[in-house]
Structure 1
Amino acid sequence: MLCLKKSLILPLFLVPVTMIAQRGGRQSAELPKDTVVEAIITEGEQDSQLEQLGHELLDGIGPRLVGTPEMKQAGDWAMAKYKSWGIASRSEKWGEWRGWQRGPAHIDMVYPRLKSLEGTQLAWSPGTNGKAISAEIILLPEVTDSITFAKWLPAVKGKFVMISMLQPTGRPDNNWKEFGTSESVIKMNKERDALTDAWAQRIRRTGYTTRTLPAALEKAGALGLVSSYWSKAVGANKIFGANTKKIPTVDLSLEDYGLLYRLAQSGTMPRLSMKIDSKELPVADAFNIIGEIKGVEKPEEYVILSAHFDSWDGATGATDNGTGTLTMMEAMRILKKVYPNPKRTILVGHWGSEEQGLNGSRGFVEDHPEIVGNIQAVFNQDNGTGRVTSLQGQGFLHAYDYLGRWLTKVPQNIRQYIETSFPGQPGTGGSDFASFVMAGAPAFSLSSLSWDYGTITWHTNRDTYDKIVFDDLRNNAILTAILAYAASEEAQKTSREKIVLPIDPGTGKPKEWPKPVSPTRRGGLD
């Protein structure tokens, strides 16, 4: 239950959108056909450009880490693509970022036997200055306190150091559930929990955190750091950024990390050889790509299609957020072809540096109050390749009314999967819609079916083109285009009236609407 003005109470509405379609006693199937909607569906189904766009962006250009040449190349590609469709676009600088480029990485175990290892340098990792470096690899010790650790710390000089725990199993949970006995599953879960707690204690007793420990090891003379952030899916590891400035940091597959860990643990003293060819580059512009179809009746009011353009770079960022990017580009292409003269201006925002804190969209909101104050609706997609299955009101009191009417235009084969939730709560993070919500603009997340997004592709080394489900993506592009069309044609400007938020137990008063957050405008430079 959410409290509204004074004594008014509004329950949380959680209903299939097919029920919303029943308005005034008439089923949506009986509504007159809309020729623009029909054209959107036909274009999206019969002349989809999604596969080709995905191939060009993900296979041809690849990952789009903020500050890299690939991010700039992708921005130029997007603007050229919009130009070919007759859509105006621009690159808007909102900050600067540390310049860096990934190069080839060769990681081998050279003792007690030869074996090439599966590994990935972390983003912004220093390289090895064009040469291979070789040394013993050692474990973090179990110490009683930070004083004991400080005494041990000089032992890292000239060695590689392993900074992640040893996983007790390389099988995903669903594999254990399908084939394991109940006793073995319980035993494995207990063992993993115990090892996780023990490793957290091992880090804590050093006097450092997982973020500050790398700098301490680097300062003490370590040759490089080796981690393994398993995603709990076979072959998938999370790949984020390095916390070192001078020595390389790499992530190894669960299998290879476990091999080295066990050898070091048993006293075999394994040796590693590493050649990392990443390089530092001049400071790079941090930017958003903005596309625009100008409105003809209310050009100073805006419908915004939204998806972050950047990615982590352990793979190609196919589902985070290549799929959101492709969805919005395809929706814009369709709209320009079948609805070239919208009532309101339709913008598309391809935001930079979402992965480091929604920075691009926060920059846009901060830099464009004249647009934010006149937003009709924002539609954002950023949680994988699946078809859209959820839409909630983000705390806007009347969102059920206008979103419900717009959704009646969406064909049943797409609409049937969408569950709506009203009025909802204002988003404060997670993706770029939150930047607009916090500024009071009606912005909504087109939330998708999982397809095991969290384990297989989200921020992993397996987030590649082959994981895209294009049938679902086609549905999402059609859905987005129809919602943008309906929002543009809406007779009235959408209401921004907000719910009264629940009581804060600490103050005894209703919680306040979240306030906008300023972006980081100098990433990795201060």
Structure 2
Amino acid sequence: MKKSLHFSKYSRVIVVGLFCVSSTFLCAQTKDKVVDQIIEEATEHSQLENYAFELIDVIGPRLVGTPQMKQAHDWVKNSYIGLGFEARNEAYGTWKAWDRGVTTIAMTSPRIQSLEGRQLAWSPATVKKGIEAEVVVLPEATTAAEFKELLKQVKGKFVLISKNTISGRPDHQWKEYATPESYEKYKKEQAEVDGAWAKRISNTGHSLKELPKVLESAGAVGVLMSYWTGIMGANRVFGAETTRIPTVDLSVEDYGLLYRLAEKGQKPRIHVQADSKDLGTTETYNTIAELKGSEKADEYVVLSAHLDSWDGATGATDNGTGIITIMEAARILKKVLPNPKRTILIGNWGSEEQGLNGSRAFVADHPELHDKIQVVLNQDSGTGRIVNLSGQGFLNSYAFLGDWLQAVPEAYKSDLKTTFLGSPSSSGSDHSSFVSVGIPAFMLGSLNWGYGGYTWHTNRDTYDKIVFDDIRSNAILIAILAYKASEADEMVSREKIELPLQKNGDRESWPEVKQPQRIAPK
């Protein structure tokens, strides 16, 4: 999931609700018996903690292609079947099959020290006893031709390819504790380091994405990097570009240690043992669950969230919270509305992190459903209360969303801002896959809780970061919206706004339909 949401400057903002009688569930009863039952079930019999424990602590990270991802699909499918839903794992492609295993990293010279780090996703393993070698900084050249000559220096070595970060303290500490002069000096020095490193990368003639493969071809034994977020302890962990040698991400502290030692001629050495397993290829899936409708069973209200995650941590807020929230909303609906007018379809998408592949595949593989989907409600932005809802460029979205929101007690929408008419999303999360084909699909954007810097794709995205009171409120909100969407007399309008002009005078276009990547890149 991308960490930011875009709302059009042509939008007008409506603040929905300013008052909540209590932070607990003891809010005034409504005139709608089903709404009251939704709230009671969510507050008295919540299963969120149980779902979170099973998915996030027991199964853990859900990187596409790993055994844990298949385990998660099966757990979700079986959980819905146990709740009385029809559920299936729907294959749509293949991906590289890989199991992380254990990574151990230690500096062996000029002294012994364990280092904090991990392989990147899909990184190759080391030999059984690991690899010990000297660490060097990426060679500095003035031209691409010179860099090509200097590449012979990396043979048999680990190569540092990230910039050196002067301070491992977050910026807010510098602002709070340093003198103004010291803070400005630090900022200037880091900017100079950043600029020099960007020039060093540019002078290689290769992008940062290409460099690992270049170093691998030149005989390096491993690639070392540090994708620090600026928050103590938090590094982003993505996928490796190498196919024969390991790529390892190190903490900002340990990366800086090796960088300084190498720069000052100490010739540090490290030992890396990475026990990952290349398992060939495996099928990829979406897990689909359905609570069949009664009067209009061939029309659908879709609850949407992606099941996959990166695996630097356990994918708690991206997007474990989305999955367990829609599961809880679905459970509640099954209990209080066992025979909805329209079918409630729950889409637990695979491979969102690689480009919305699961939801794009579902849209591509089910054209027969396009004009049968009433609405898609997508949850994928962390652990906080839902605070943003954009109309996505659908002309009458303010009417039907506004009507449904009227049924939601103020306690569960007091922070919610709706942006109508909004602009259609072309990426960011799985609702975009539906928007592109003209299906009313909406992102339920959450309060930040430090998501962008602290947990988004980092090694700190773990169970303890979940704020259960917030996602309990979200489950209630989603269940009520789904209930109202299901029971509406008619299908909602799909009429689109006329998009604004661009600077070149051409009118903006509705987002294009993009096909899923069904086979892993080599």
| TM-score, normalising length: structure 1 | 0.94
Are 1:171 and 2:169 an aligned pair?
yes
Indicate the SS of the match to 2:354: coil
Q: For the Cα contact (< 8 Å) 2:29–2:36, is it kept in 1?
A: no
Offset from partner CA, 1:348-387 (integer Å, 9 cap, x none): 1010000010000000011111112211111111111011
Amino acid at match of 1:472: D
Change (3 A) 1:102 1:216: same
Supply the distance in 1 between the matched residues of 2:340 and 2:14 (Cα, whole angstroms).
Answer: 31
1:406 to 399, 404, 407: 404
Count the aligned residue pairs. Answer: 508
Counterpart position of 2:216: 218
For residues 472-502 of structure 1, give each alpha carbon's deviation from its aligned partner in whole angstroms, at most 9, with x where no partner exists: 0100111111110011111121111111111
CA contact (8 A) 1:17 1:404 kept: no
Q: Within 5 A, what are the aligned runs for 1:97-108? A: 97-108=95-106
Q: Aligned-pair distance for 1:32? A: 5.8
Deviation of 1:31 (Å): 10
CA distance in 1, matches of 2:182, 2:370: 55
Which position in structure 2 is the counterpart of 1:7?
Answer: none
Show the counterpart of 1:4. none
Match of 2:200 in 1: 202
Seq. identity, %: 56
Deviations 1:218-249 (A, max 9, x none): 01110101100001111000000000000000
CA distance in 2, matches of 1:392, 1:31: 28
Counterpart Cα distance in 1 of 2:472 and 2:300? 24
Match for 1:427 among 425, 433, 452?
425
Q: Write the letter of the residue equivalent to 1:168.
A: I
Offset of residue 12 of structure 1? 2.5
Aligned equivalent of 2:299:
301
Question: In the alignment, is residue 515 of structure 1 matched against residue 505 of structure 2?
Answer: no
1:112-511 matched pairs, under 5 angstroms = 112-506=110-504, 508-511=505-508
Uncovered stretches (5+) of structure 2, i.e. residues with no partner: 1-8, 20-26
Structure 1's consecutive aligned runs of 4 or more residues displaced over 4 angstroms after TM superposition are: 29-32
Query: Contact 2:393–2:424 (CA<8 Å) still a contact in 1?
Result: yes
SS at match of 2:163: coil
| Distance of aligned partners of 1:47 and 1:136 in 2 relative to their CA distance in 1, 3 Å threshold | same
- Secondary structure, aligned partner of 2:54: helix
Residue aligned with 1:373, SS: helix
Contact 2:135 2:267 in 1 (8 A): yes
Unaligned runs of 5+ in 1: 1-9, 21-28
Q: Can you list the C-alpha shifts for 1:245-270, whole angstroms capped at 9, x where unaligned?
A: 00000000000000110011111000
Change (3 A) 1:370 1:31: farther
- The one-letter code sitting in structure 2 at the alignment partner of 1:15 is I
Contact 1:145–1:205 (CA under 8 A) maintained in structure 2? yes
Query: Is 1:95 aligned to 2:93, yes or no?
Result: yes
8 Å contact from structure 1 (residues 319, 468) kept in 2: yes
Measured in 2, the distance between the counterparts of 1:251 and 1:272 equals 14
Instruction: Confirm or deny: 8 A CA contact 2:62 2:68 kept in the other structure.
Output: yes
Deviation at 1:30, TM superposition (A): 11
Partner secondary structure for residue 77 of structure 2:
helix
**Alignment-derived partner of residue 16 in structure 1:** 15
The corresponding residue for 2:3 is: none
Work out the CA distance in 1 between the residues paired with 2:379 and 2:179.
40
SS of the aligned residue for 2:340 comes to coil
How many angstroms does 1:200 deviate by?
Answer: 1.2
Mapped partners of 2:500, 2:181: distance in 1: 43
SS of 1:287's equivalent?
Answer: strand
Distance 2:189 2:403 in 1: 52
Contact 2:10–2:422 at 8 Å: present in 1 too?
no
Give 1:282 deviation, angstroms: 2.7
